[in-house]
């Protein structure tokens, strides 16, 4: 059986309880795990360290719309904001620290904003739902 | 009517409200000046996460008669200017091509120019 491929078509992003797929061009949950290393006589040893992560979102400027991702982030700046990121059958839930989005304007282009939100703790991954083929 | 047809029809309605003779198709008998709104390439391009949104690329072609070459270009410039003003906010005009001559069997030569526009559509 061919492995299922997940594309942006199968993804969704919710911020502050509202689904913003209408304006989001891309998002990325990324994680960084520090490793602790130490060299002893028998060789190098390593152990897991602290984890951190970020949620990057690129979206069309939508200030003034109801609801508005731009206005939600602007209003919530510096505070926790809940997010739900879905890719196929996987769902990641957590909170991040909102930041003010910038306002890049270019003649002849859609105004598009990018933000990087620091994660407040690691997200919870909902169990992947495996769908069986019809028999 | 699909969202694709509705997007073109919306533009045609707006142009007609501005006094421009606009069509969803190329009429069998072209009586210039007229404007057609037709799909361009790449016609549909997904540009949002999820399954409902896509970027639509359309060609708005402006035609004027080429009976009098001394005034045809000026007429085309006026028509292009009217189109730019009538194109709604949120619909992006990415380019306007240089005029070209199109020949028709019934109406003779036409001076034509293509506007390439991008619109965002949502299907529910």
Q: Where are the domains of chain B?
A: 3-122
Q: Do A24 and B47 touch (CB under 8 A)?
A: no
Those residues whose C-beta lies under 8 Å from the C-beta of residue B89, and which sit 6 or more positions away, are none
How many angstroms separate the CA of residue A78 from the nearest CA in chain B?
26
Chain B: give the shortest CA distance to residue A23, in Å: 6
Which one of B49, B51, B118 has the shortest CB-CB distance to A24?
B49
**Contact check, Cβ <8 Å, B122/A22:** yes
Q: Do A11 and B49 touch (CB under 8 A)?
A: yes
pLDDT score of B122: 86
Q: Taking the complete model, does pTM exceed 0.80, yes or no?
A: yes
Residue B107 has pLDDT above 90, yes or no: no
Choose, out of B49, B50, B57, B96, the residue to mutate when testing the contact with A (most A CBs < 10 Å). Answer: B49
Nearest-Å Rg of the Cα atoms of chain B is 15
Sort out which chain B residues have CB atoms less than 8 A from A9's CB and list them: 46, 49-51
Tell if the CB–CB gap between B46 and A8 is shorter than 8 Å: yes
Structure tokens at B77: 């410039």
For domain B3-122, is the CATH number 3.40.50.970?
no
CA distance A25 to chain B (A): 4
For residue range A1-39, what is the model confidence (pLDDT) as tens digits?
567 788 998 999 999 999 999 999 999 999 998 888 889
**pLDDT exceeds 60 at position B112:** yes
Query: Count of CB atoms within 10 A of residue A97's CB?
Result: 16
B contact set with A (CB within 8 A)? 46-53, 92, 94, 118, 120, 122
What mean pLDDT do residues B98-117 have? 90
Asked if A110 lies within 8 A of B92 by C-beta distance, the reply is yes
Confidence of residue B49 (pLDDT cuts 50, 70, 90): very high
C-alpha distance from B16 to closest chain A C-alpha (Å): 25
Q: How many CB atoms lie within 10 A of CB B97?
A: 12
Which one has a higher pLDDT value, B89 or A115?
A115
């Amino acid at each position: 059986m061919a492995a299922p491929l997940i594309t942006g078509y199968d993804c969704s992003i919710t911020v502050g309880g509202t689904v913003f797929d209408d304006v989001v061009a891309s998002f990325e949950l990324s994680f960084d795990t520090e490793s602790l290393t130490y060299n002893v006589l028998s060789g190098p040893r390593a152990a897991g360290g602290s984890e951190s992560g970020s949620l990057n979102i690129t979206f069309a400027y939508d200030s003034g719309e109801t609801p508005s991702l731009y206005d939600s982030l602007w209003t919530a700046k510096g505070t926790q904001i809940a997010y739900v990121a879905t890719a196929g059958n996987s769902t990641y839930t957590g909170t991040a620290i909102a930041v003010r989005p910038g306002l890049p304007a270019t003649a002849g282009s859609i105004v598009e904003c990018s933000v990087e939100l620091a994660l407040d703790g690691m997200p919870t991954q909902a169990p992947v739902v495996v769908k069986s083929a019809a028999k | 009517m699909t969202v694709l047809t509705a997007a073109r029809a919306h533009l045609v309605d707006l142009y007609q409200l501005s006094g421009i003779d606009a069509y969803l198709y190329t009429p069998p008998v072209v009586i210039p000046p007229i404007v057609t709104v037709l799909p361009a390439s790449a016609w549909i391009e997904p540009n949002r996460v999820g399954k409902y949104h896509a970027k639509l690329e359309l060609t708005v072609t402006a035609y004027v008669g080429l009976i009098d070459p001394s005034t045809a270009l000026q007429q085309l410039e006026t028509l292009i200017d009217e189109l730019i003003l009538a194109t709604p906010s949120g619909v992006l005009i990415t380019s306007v091509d240089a005029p070209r001559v199109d020949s028709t069997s019934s109406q003779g030569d036409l001076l034509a120019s293509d506007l390439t526009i991008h619109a965002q559509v949502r299907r529910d």
